[in-house]
Structure 1
Amino acid sequence: MNRLKELIKLVLKNTLFKLGIEDVGYLSRWIVLWWDAQVVLVVLFLTSFIESNFTSSFANKEFLYLLILVEVVTALFFVIFKTYVGIIRHSSYVDAAKLFFSSLFSAITLLIINAVSSKLTGKVFFSPVFLIIFSLGLFCGLLLYRLLIKQIYALFIIEEHPNFEKVFILGVSQGAISLAVAIENELPKRFKVVGFLDYDELNSKKQVLGIPILHITKKVHVLVRANNATGIIVLEDDLKNNIYTKSIEECLDYNIKIYRAPSISEIDLNSGVNDTIRNIQIEDLLGRKPIEINNINILNIIKGRTILVTGGAGSIGAEIVNQLGRFKPKCLLVVEQAESALHNLTLQFTKKFDNIEFVPLVSDIRNKKALEFIFKEYHPEIIYHCAAYKHVPLMENNPTEAVSTNIQGSKNLADLSVKYNVDRFIMISTDKAVNPSNVMGATKRAAEMYVQSLYNSLKSKENCTKFITTRFGNVLGSNGSVVPLFKEQIASGGPVTITHPDIIRYFMTIPEACQLVMEASSMGSGGEIFIFDMGKAVKILDLAHKMIRLAGFIPNKTMEIKSIGLRPGEKLYEELLNDKSITLPTYHEKIMIVKENSDDYKFVNESIKKIVSSSNKNEITEIIKKLKELVPEYISLNSEYEILDSKEQV
């Protein structure tokens, strides 16, 4: 039997090669159109033969004229409906519909030509029966030869690649069913759907497309293994809405592969579904329901205006720049000291938004003279201040740099915003500014205090700058954050290092954080500190376990997890507000306003001048002392500066 198959394959290959078809999987569109024309020829012969009770003669000029007429008309509709454009091995219901309508309209056009000819010359080319038989025969012929090509491809490819993976699809929604259809029609096969898994008991023991639906009554991994499957596929929409989180995490614990598939509307059926189904990532598991923002409000403050973004090529800054592009600013100024990152951002943005003036400015917010030139030259109306030093251990060892950028740089921008009548100033802060335990957090808190107190000193004046602060926790995938670090450690074979087994952090995605920043910037009227709903806190040890399992390893068996101790300035958990603060709701469920005691501008300004003066003299101890005087809740942890918190030293 196998020898017969090999013989058939050899004959087919030789035949196709002689016809100029070297790859049956990717037929040229002109070859497809040529074959469609041959189908028209065959169907026309057969229809004429059938209508004449098998007595028709084709050796006459009249039949030749009919043949030319029919070929021209059908070719016209093949081109109109683009029946020859798709990849035949990925033919779908859409392609079948194109074939049907091209056959139907060809018959209708021939009928119209017939009627016109009858009226003008009295000559009839086709009978109604002929056209009905022809149109049905043409549709069936075009469809059947495409199915034949798919089967030939299957003979060549599936026999050569017999290994496909048995999987379950989570859910039995219309999207899940459409995905199953796409997978079943895909050649070569990467997956074989053996069932749907669903929580709804009413669907139990039913079938869709001949595929059983299994009710999730017991452990998912038991159902998967009992059916000799090795993985599950979850739709992106279900993943975002956390519908099957429990089942996914269970599969993760038992080393069952988890795949993510986009919604069926995002799949290009001509390219196939295989390449769109990918291994699930940790970002998928930590992601939350999609955020709905008020695009109209944001558009009202951004459209047609000049916007300045500092630190615009960083993780947060670059995303804000890209999101701003959607709201049609007149001009986008990006201040960034990292020239390569700024160059890359410039190329990406100008390619995507070629109708927006984009001005990349290699500059440093610590240089007030350079900043003032930018304000004089471009007159920014809204500022998104993202530039900052953020790495806790690094800033603990470099407090002068933290002061010069996080405090002095922010002060430079705030003062110039007032001087040049900037409408809105949005400062990006951090949860580490709350009850800070490190230099970085303390300098960010000092910057918060400065812009808030500056606004309070000016708010009685007409058209004063609206200073708005946004505060949130860790973002997934930002430069130097834990997720890329763990990925790198896993890729290099481990160990995966954590600082403490009990350390927890809040996470949100970069797009989510930036969407909320944009929303807050549109709702703020000045003086607010906005905090975001960060969701559930994530234990870093659990994060390490999940990432190791996603990579196909077993924690502490095939991949070591090593605790290295808390780093200087690091604490076990972060907070978004202190004990003295209260929160007020906004119209957006994920954004709240923090009410804190307002600070006196003169006191804050004088304190900052002293801190900056000590920084310029490189007086490290004095910097920390003065920071602790300005921010009394700043208590150092795991740091050499802890000694400055003792009563004897203060």
Structure 2
Amino acid sequence: MSRLLQRSHIAFVHDVMMAAISFPAALYLRVGDGVVFYDPQNILFSASIFTVISAISFWFFGLYRGIWRYASLNDLTRIAKAVTVGVGVLFLILFFTTRLDWLPRSTPIIQWFLLMALLGGSRLIYRVAKDKTTARAMVRQGTQRVPVLLIGAGDEAEAFIRETRRSADTPFDVVGIVALTEGRVGRNMHGVDVLATIDKLEETLNKLEKNKRGLPRRMVLTGDALRHEDITKWVEIADHHGMTLARLPKLGDLREGLSDPLQIRPVAIEDLLGRPQARLDRDKVRQMIAGRRVLITGAGGSIGSELVRQISGYGPASLTLVDAGEYNLYAIDMEMSEKYPDLPRDSVLGDVRDRTRIDQVFAKQQPEIVFHAAAYKHVPLVEHNPNEGILTNTLGTRNVAEACRAAGVGTMVLISTDKAVNPANVMGASKRLAECYCQALETLPDDQRGPTRFVTVRFGNVLGSTGSVVPLFRRQLEAGGPLTVTHEGITRYFMTIAEAVELVLQAAELGNHGVTDGGKIFVLDMGRPVKIIDLARQMIMLSGLRPGKDVDIKVTGLRPGEKLYEELFHDAEPPEPTETDGLMLAAPRVVDYALIKQVFAELGESAQSRDTHKTLELISRLVPEFQPPEIGVKSFFADDAPAKIDQAAGGL
């Protein structure tokens, strides 16, 4: 700290000395040798007054908060302000004391430019000298610069190049820039040429390969490039040329130095979604959450815990965390106790299957907003344990929904899945039944439904959630492979956990305004589906390895209940846009509440008694699209079913 103060004092003395000599120097530049005919007392008085004024002005404008080593446009702006004030005050004083009879009127203009040059030039010379010293130091140390190609020609690229030029701890050599648009092609940035646009990436790499310097060893993506839809193509192009993709390192990392210059931040798998992240109207979400009592089921799970994190930041009156898993609940509770120690919070061990327990919790906490994220979500496990899936996903949702009605909750949000569309497995069918129950409640007349709005949000796979494919691939990579894929053609929709939860919160806010009237369901726009085998290849390449050579990919065959592709909409539920980017509305067919309540009671009996055959039969009748091969039954909505039922549902 004392060393820093000493340096700032030296800089201050330097600047004050420049200010002292600037007045007589400006006068000399104006009149030349004629300066000898001017009264020395006037010159000395003016120079002294200006020195004092400048010292105050320089300190006031913070010229010594900046570091000369990193002098920038901001520093030049501060210098200009300080010099302008100093020169202006001086000549006001001279005008009132001497009426400026003895001084040429152009002198203040000359002095302004002269002092700007003295202050700004000294900083520039110092910076250039330090940069050259750094370069020589790198040569002496035998530091080898790693050649990189930047993708994107914006401000981040400029900052990266500038930092690499002035620090011995950043041994990167930017050999060229590929722009996302044509505006900067043919120009250069700190001496680095903008070679071409991104659509000519392959051609640009071929030219570089023929160059003396050869191909760069990394393609480094700036922030704008990370949001580009063709990023997956760049991974393949880079691999074809023996290169790998990386994200732009943080400037702080560059200054502190990297232990391995090749380990620039790797491109995260969420960067390969091929679409920009959805935007959230946080002000409206804050208005919905702030000052209200919020309850979250499944609070320890991937989605539930992220809901807890984001909702806690919006200032709820209290937060109730419900989960059947002791450790998961403990983990998120401890995290919240550290981040939001003053937030009233209650962590409750409870299973949504247990209607008595859920009713007790709701009666005690009196929540105003409920997010229902508790569910069994792993397709193979639920396929082998269908009764458990129904008890949690379907009947658990019924228990929570009825508890919301009884407690007068304002909004209940059900987290659903794309597997509920044309379900080919018990997990998808169980979630479709959960959707149907909430839809039926939402379409009841106000005097029967009560104050509760039932909002359902449907989305696909979440990157990084427990049991998802990305953590599985990471574990398999750490073990040396192979990466296992069930089918070469299998595709899935993906989004990040944070993005999914933000859109869930936005959907909840929109649901308060009657957007879901008629039983409509929110569907998150997941972009384009991703082939799982491509995801496996990309993860291998982003680890610096080669698919099929360093790490194999093994096709194991589809698992029970697994579909080749998922759908976000049923053929009979065309999507409708909403006012929020990333959110759409679907209008699935709705079942009469009295009917579904009766059938759920029967389904509960079969699931409780673990009568698997009966449970599967009831599921297939309720959801005609789901037909287990061993169950041959007629749908409740077949042609010979009562007309009222057929008109009400037409198949769920």
| Counterpart among 548, 552, 572 of residue 556 in structure 1 | 548
The RMSD of aligned alpha carbons is: 4.2
1:516 aligns with 2:503: yes
CA contact (8 A) 1:41 1:71 kept: yes
Identity %: 32
C-alpha displacement of 1:418: 0.7
- Give the corresponding residue for 1:8: none
1:192 aligns with 2:191: no
CA contact (8 A) 2:353 2:395 kept: yes
Structure 1 residues 267-326: Cα deviation after superposition (integer angstroms, max 9, x where no partner): 669957989962212210115223234445434433332222212232212222333345
Where do 1:168-207 residues align within 5 Å? 168-198=149-179, 204-207=185-188
Counterparts of 2:537 and 2:285, CA distance in 1: 39
C-alpha displacement of 1:505: 1.0
Counterparts of 1:577 and 1:45, CA distance in 2: 76
1:289 aligns with 2:276: yes
1:625 aligns with 2:617: yes
1:210 aligns with 2:191: yes
- 1:47–1:418: structure 2 CA closer, same or farther, 3 Å change rule? closer
C-alpha displacement of 1:417: 0.6
What runs of 5+ residues in structure 1 fail to find an aligned partner?
1-25, 54-65, 120-126, 637-641
CA contact (8 A) 1:529 1:594 kept: yes
C-alpha displacement of 1:408: 2.6
Structure 1 residues 523-547: Cα deviation after superposition (integer angstroms, max 9, x where no partner): 2324222222222111111111111
- Give the corresponding residue for 1:379: 366
- 1:449–1:462: structure 2 CA closer, same or farther, 3 Å change rule? closer
- 1:45–1:471: structure 2 CA closer, same or farther, 3 Å change rule? closer
Counterparts of 2:412 and 2:534, CA distance in 1: 38
- 1:421–1:37: structure 2 CA closer, same or farther, 3 Å change rule? closer
C-alpha displacement of 1:214: 1.8
- Give the corresponding residue for 1:537: 529
Secondary structure of the 1:502 match is coil
Secondary structure of the 2:174 match is strand
CA contact (8 A) 1:40 1:138 kept: yes
CA contact (8 A) 1:91 1:270 kept: no
- 1:35–1:336: structure 2 CA closer, same or farther, 3 Å change rule? farther
Structure 1 residues 96-148: Cα deviation after superposition (integer angstroms, max 9, x where no partner): 555665677677788899999999xxxxxxx9899997775455445544554
| Counterpart among 558, 566, 583 of residue 574 in structure 1 | 566
Counterparts of 1:625 and 1:166, CA distance in 2: 64
Structure 1 residues 30-58: Cα deviation after superposition (integer angstroms, max 9, x where no partner): 242244256468768988998999xxxxx
Secondary structure of the 1:643 match is coil
| Counterpart among 410, 415, 420 of residue 397 in structure 2 | 410
Counterparts of 2:154 and 2:168, CA distance in 1: 24
Where do 1:393-408 residues align within 5 Å? 393-408=380-395
Counterparts of 2:80 and 2:556, CA distance in 1: 67
**Aligned partner letter, 1:219:** E
Where do 1:249-288 residues align within 5 Å? 249-261=236-248, 278-288=265-275
- 1:202–1:330: structure 2 CA closer, same or farther, 3 Å change rule? closer
Counterparts of 1:507 and 1:514, CA distance in 2: 13
- Give the corresponding residue for 1:30: 5
Counterparts of 1:463 and 1:328, CA distance in 2: 26
- Give the corresponding residue for 2:649: none
TM-score w.r.t. the length of structure 2 is: 0.79
| Counterpart among 120, 144, 147 of residue 163 in structure 1 | 144
Secondary structure of the 1:604 match is helix
CA contact (8 A) 2:274 2:528 kept: no
1:94 aligns with 2:94: no
Where do 1:142-541 residues align within 5 Å? 143-157=124-138, 159-160=140-141, 162-198=143-179, 204-216=185-197, 217=200, 219-227=203-211, 228=214, 229-242=216-229, 246-247=233-234, 249-261=236-248, 278-349=265-336, 356-459=343-446, 461=448, 463-524=450-511, 525=514, 526=517, 527-541=519-533
C-alpha displacement of 1:549: 1.1
Structure 1 residues 472-523: Cα deviation after superposition (integer angstroms, max 9, x where no partner): 1111111111112112211221111111111111112222222322222222
CA contact (8 A) 1:29 1:84 kept: no
CA contact (8 A) 2:131 2:166 kept: no
CA contact (8 A) 1:371 1:413 kept: yes
CA contact (8 A) 2:16 2:54 kept: no
- 1:455–1:316: structure 2 CA closer, same or farther, 3 Å change rule? same
C-alpha displacement of 1:413: 0.7
CA contact (8 A) 2:291 2:316 kept: yes
Structure 1 residues 328-364: Cα deviation after superposition (integer angstroms, max 9, x where no partner): 4333322233444444434544665567544433333
- 1:242–1:88: structure 2 CA closer, same or farther, 3 Å change rule? farther
**Aligned partner letter, 1:528:** K
Counterparts of 2:253 and 2:93, CA distance in 1: 36
C-alpha displacement of 1:458: 4.8
**Aligned partner letter, 1:333:** T
C-alpha displacement of 1:78: 6.5
Counterparts of 1:361 and 1:493, CA distance in 2: 41
Counterparts of 1:136 and 1:495, CA distance in 2: 64
What runs of 5+ residues in structure 2 fail to find an aligned partner?
34-45, 100-106, 635-652
C-alpha displacement of 1:427: 0.4
CA contact (8 A) 1:87 1:270 kept: no
CA contact (8 A) 2:484 2:556 kept: yes
CA contact (8 A) 1:92 1:269 kept: no
Counterparts of 1:185 and 1:364, CA distance in 2: 59
C-alpha displacement of 1:385: 0.7
C-alpha displacement of 1:580: 3.9
Counterparts of 2:112 and 2:469, CA distance in 1: 69
C-alpha displacement of 1:603: 3.1
**Aligned partner letter, 1:372:** D
- 1:421–1:117: structure 2 CA closer, same or farther, 3 Å change rule? same
Counterparts of 1:395 and 1:295, CA distance in 2: 36
**Aligned partner letter, 2:567:** E
C-alpha displacement of 1:380: 1.0
- 1:620–1:201: structure 2 CA closer, same or farther, 3 Å change rule? closer
- Give the corresponding residue for 2:43: none
CA contact (8 A) 2:412 2:455 kept: yes
Counterparts of 1:224 and 1:314, CA distance in 2: 48
- 1:130–1:88: structure 2 CA closer, same or farther, 3 Å change rule? closer
- 1:444–1:112: structure 2 CA closer, same or farther, 3 Å change rule? same
Secondary structure of the 2:630 match is helix
| Counterpart among 601, 611, 615 of residue 607 in structure 2 | 615
Where do 1:112-127 residues align within 5 Å? none
Counterparts of 1:74 and 1:157, CA distance in 2: 39
